[in-house]
Amino acid sequence: MTSNEVLLQVRDLVKHFPIMRGTLIQRQVGAVKAVDGVSFDVYRGETLGLVGESGCGKSTTGRAILQLYRPTSGSVIFEGVDLVKLKGEELRKTRRRMQMIFQDPYASLNPRMTVGQIISEPLIIHGIADSKTAQERAEELLRLVGLNPAYTNRYPHEFSGGQRQRVGVARALALEPAFIVCDEPISALDVSVQAQVVNLLEDLQSQMGLTYLFIAHDLSMVRHISNRIAVMYLGVVVELADRHELYNHPLHPYTQALLSAVPIPDPVIEARRQRIILKGDVPSPINPPSGCRFRTRCPLADTICAEQRPDFREAAPGHWVACHMV
């Protein structure tokens, strides 16, 4: 399914959240550097996995791409147009082409709207359908995501977590987008239900030729669903490669530690495995380490790592890494 056509080009994306002090006269005293220079391409029809631990900036990256947060700097070129420069009506129109599926299926559906209203609202807002055709379309979408079309008059609380997530998927599909940011779409669900939603996302992708940015912290699931994977640490992408390449030949010491930390559901293999246990915690993004962000926890760190920020370079064809020691 994956083509060589670049659908989305993210270049030097930066998102800093200002920290303000003072009540009457506010001044900025610092910034949370949530995303600090992220670049990657997403090809049409592929799934790019974005993994990292909490606070690494993966969700902020997803939102900054969709302009839900306006980036501090950098560019997001989607189908040839730089979204960062768009505003108002123009931006609203391009939003039809890109949608989002949220993590929490409880918080992301309005409890006072019926499922039919939730799914058809985007159609009405964008003036694609009147309320009658929107209703029909909602039923069609419910069928598409594996729910009973007769459910359009029900409210979100009448559904289980997995079913709500299907409603969230139906809403994202209503406008027939080309690109969907899936922000931890399964982490709130039970294990047996996670597989249902992942299979649904995969089926829809092959039916409709969708492109996904799949954000998650579960590395085994990301490996399962993605074609390529980008690993983030403290606001930067440290490694990006084809999923097999990344799992078989991780180059960055953080990726290596992250992969070794993921438990494998097999006691025989677990008993033999050698873990790389990282020391300490992730530093604060308000005052990140100089040079390489990972150097404070890195087993290979040297003096150059504190002095210079490593370039994000192509170490092997299609395999990008940001490390001085590789």
Partner 1 sequence: MPDILQVQGLETQFRTREGIIHAVNGVSFNLKEGETLGIVGESGCGKSVTVMSMLRLIPSPPGKVTAGKALFQGRDLLTMTDEEIRHVRGAQISMVFQDPMTSFNPVLTIGKQVAEPLEVHMGMNQKQAEDRVAEMLAKVGIPNPKDRLNNYPHQFSGGMRQRVMIAMALVCNPQILIADEPTTALDVTIQAQIVDLVKRLRDELGMAIIWITHDLGVIAGLADRMAVMYGGFIIETSPVRDLYAHPTHPYTIGLLGSLPRMDEAGSRRLVSIDGLPPVLLEKPNYCPFAPRCKFAVERCWHENPPLMQISPDHYTACWVDTETGRERS
Would you say 18 or 263 has its CB closer to partner 1? 263
Window of 27-35, 84-92, 176-184, 216-224 that interacts with partner 1 by CB under 8 A? 216-224
Q: At what angle do helices 161-173 and 191-208 cross, to 10 degrees?
A: 20
What residue type is assigned to position 152 of the chain? T
Q: Which of 18, 30, 263, 299 binds partner 1 (CB under 8 A)?
A: 263
Q: Within the chain, what is the greatest distance between any pair of CA atoms?
A: 67
Q: Please list every residue from 217 through 246 that binds partner 1, using CB under 8 A.
A: 217, 219-221, 223-224
Q: Please list every residue from 267 through 306 that binds partner 1, using CB under 8 A.
A: 267-271, 273, 275, 277-278, 281-282
Least Å distance, CB 259 to partner 1, is: 7
Least Å distance, CB 36 to partner 1, is: 19
DSSP state of 72: S
CA distance 114 to 241: 42
Alpha helices in the chain (DSSP H): 58-65, 88-94, 115-125, 131-144, 161-173, 191-208, 219-225, 243-248, 253-261, 267-272, 303-307
Least Å distance, CB 278 to partner 1, is: 5
Q: Does 258 bind partner 1 (CB under 8 A)?
A: yes
Would you say 215 or 282 has its CB closer to partner 1? 282
Q: Please list every residue from 6 through 65 that binds partner 1, using CB under 8 A.
A: 53-54
Q: Which of 38, 198, 237, 240 binds partner 1 (CB under 8 A)?
A: 198
User: What count of other Cβ atoms lies within 10 Å of the Cβ of residue 154?
Assistant: 16
Would you say 4 or 54 has its CB closer to partner 1? 54
Contact between 245 and 318 (Cβ < 8 Å): yes
Report the candidate in 205, 211, 213, 218 with the shortest Cα–Cα distance to residue 181. Answer: 213
Would you say 56 or 138 has its CB closer to partner 1? 56
Contact between 235 and 55 (Cβ < 8 Å): no
Q: Which of 1, 19, 68, 262 binds partner 1 (CB under 8 A)?
A: 262
Q: Please list every residue from 135 through 194 that binds partner 1, using CB under 8 A.
A: 160, 162, 190-194
Would you say 32 or 83 has its CB closer to partner 1? 32
CA distance 206 to 135: 25
Looking up tokens 């299907």 gives: 166
Would you say 109 or 259 has its CB closer to partner 1? 259
What residue type is assigned to position 40 of the chain? F
Would you say 51 or 66 has its CB closer to partner 1? 51
Q: Which of 2, 26, 28, 199 binds partner 1 (CB under 8 A)?
A: 199
Q: Which helix (H) or strand (E) holds 278?
A: none
User: SS3 for 269?
Assistant: helix
CA distance 326 to 322: 8
Least Å distance, CB 201 to partner 1, is: 11
Backbone angles phi, psi at 27, to 5 degrees: -135, 155
CA distance 33 to 198: 32
Q: Does 207 bind partner 1 (CB under 8 A)?
A: no
Number of residues that bind partner 1 (CB under 8 A): 42
CA distance 151 to 114: 9
Backbone angles phi, psi at 125, to 5 degrees: -60, -40
Would you say 86 or 193 has its CB closer to partner 1? 193
Would you say 95 or 164 has its CB closer to partner 1? 164
Window of 16-24, 25-33, 35-43, 212-220 that interacts with partner 1 by CB under 8 A? 212-220
Residues near partner 1 (CB under 8 A): 53-54, 160, 162, 190-196, 198-199, 202, 217, 219-221, 223-224, 247, 257-271, 273, 275, 277-278, 281-282
